[in-house]
Amino acid sequence: MSSGQGVGLDEVDAAARRVYAAMPATPQFAWPLLAARAGREVWVKHENHTPTGAFKVRGGLNLVGQLAELASPPRGVISATRGNHGQSLAFAARRAGMRCTIVVPHGNSPAKNAAMRALGAELVEHGRDFDDARVHAVELGRDRGDRFVGPFDRELVAGVATYARELFAAVAGLDRVYVPIGCGSGICGLIAVRDALGLATAIVGVVSTGADAYRQSFRAGRPIETANATTIADGMAVRVPVPAALDAILRGAEDVVAVTDDEVAEAMRALFDDTHQVAEGAGAAPLAAALKAGRQAGERIGVILSGGNVDRPAYQRILADGLTGSAA
């Protein structure tokens, strides 16, 4: 597995060619009602507008695209996911004519499972959470001879970094960007492009108080594994930080902050009310963190709406001001 560290603009631009062969750039909008709510100018990067409803499709298109260009490409790819990464690989693998196997934990989002199957993935259920599923995927891939795709392969980071390239090209003078952290490809892509462009934009990672391995690790300056990762924002439900991702975050992030499930739910409602956009828990977490930071007049910020793949029953309860243990 290749590290995602040190991705340069040449790799991002090469990835963009593979990405844009399958999808257009996503928009970024400054919504007036969000600005009034937050007390500052808020630009939303709409990664809920991709073909799979989440930013990760960019990484899958770049990685699988590169595999397909090899003289002897692998017969298939295998990985573990709570949903968006798996949809990314399945979407890209089907375009390339490769098989795709995805391991998910028991109790995973039914809607995301259905979406992965619809894209042609073989789904295997194993373990209590993402980290258990990841270990099983490595073993299963070894047995099958498939190419295991980790959460932080360099090709994935270069692919997802294309959304950062778009955002920084479209919006000048961003003071701060809030981005959710799952395994770290999204925030590290932002850091890589920000640094390559020589911008002064601060980048703030966002995690859940119920899955705060990256916040604890950022504070300690070393990887810290947590016992549990329980949150309605399943895209951030990670117990074990990726060391290479943490290294990049330690070097390039201003801070890593945590938001509660109640704050995430309120941000999901705010995005619907102010923009009529559907955000899953991880996709709303950046806005939750920005609102929690308080009003700062004159500041121009970005929030990464990383995905909109939320189960309807859970979303209905959240819109009705109710929370349950169901994933969002």
pLDDT tens digit sequence for 93-117: 999 999 999 999 999 888 889 999 9
Higher-confidence residue of 238 and 162: namely: 162
Q: Are residues 161 and 280 in the same domain?
A: yes
Q: What tens digit of pLDDT does each residue of 206-261 get? A: 999 999 999 999 999 999 999 888 899 989 989 999 999 999 999 999 999 999 99
The answer to whether residue 103 is domain-embedded is yes
Show the domain range for 292: 9-55+156-319
Higher-confidence residue of 323 and 129: namely: 129
Predicted local confidence at residue 164, as pLDDT? 98
Q: What tens digit of pLDDT does each residue of 168-186 get? A: 999 999 999 999 999 999 9
CATH number at residue 284: 3.40.50.1100
Residue bearing tokens 């373990």: 127
Where a domain ends, among 132, 148, 164? Answer: 148
Instruction: Supply the DSSP string of 201-270, one letter for each residue.
Output: -EEEEEEETTB-HHHHHHHHTS----S----S-GGG--SS--HHHHHHHHHH-SEEEEE-HHHHHHHHHH
Q: Are residues 124 and 271 in the same domain?
A: no
Q: Are strands 176-180 and 122-125 parallel, antiparallel or unpaired?
A: unpaired
The answer to whether residue 1 is domain-embedded is no
The answer to whether residue 195 is domain-embedded is yes
Q: How many domains does the chain have?
A: 2
Predicted local confidence at residue 326, as pLDDT? 43
Q: Are residues 98 and 132 in the same domain?
A: yes
The answer to whether residue 327 is domain-embedded is no
Q: Are residues 218 and 79 in the same domain?
A: no
d(CA 275, CA 270): 8
Helix (H) or strand (E) holding 309: none
Where a domain ends, among 102, 126, 148? Answer: 148
Helix (H) or strand (E) holding 79: strand 76-80
Question: Mean pLDDT in the chain?
Answer: 93
Where a domain ends, among 98, 116, 148? Answer: 148
Q: Are residues 217 and 281 in the same domain?
A: yes
Q: Are residues 112 and 193 in the same domain?
A: no
Neighbours of 48 (CB within 10 A): 23
Above 80 in pLDDT, residue 309?
Answer: yes
Q: Are residues 169 and 252 in the same domain?
A: yes
DSSP conformation class of 298: T
Percent of the chain with pLDDT over 90: 85
pTM here is 0.93
Q: Are residues 117 and 88 in the same domain?
A: yes
Q: Are residues 161 and 299 in the same domain?
A: yes
Question: What are the CA-CA distances from residue 20 to residues 24, 58, 159 (Å)?
Answer: 5, 9, 11
The answer to whether residue 328 is domain-embedded is no
SS3 at position 175: coil
Q: Are residues 193 and 271 in the same domain?
A: yes
Q: Are residues 86 and 162 in the same domain?
A: no
Residue 2: band (very low, low, confident or very high) from pLDDT cuts 50, 70, 90: very low
Which of 75, 250, 92 minimizes the C-alpha distance to 156?
92
Predicted local confidence at residue 5, as pLDDT? 56
The answer to whether residue 284 is domain-embedded is yes
SS3 at position 101: strand
d(CA 60, CA 157): 10
Predicted local confidence at residue 205, as pLDDT? 98
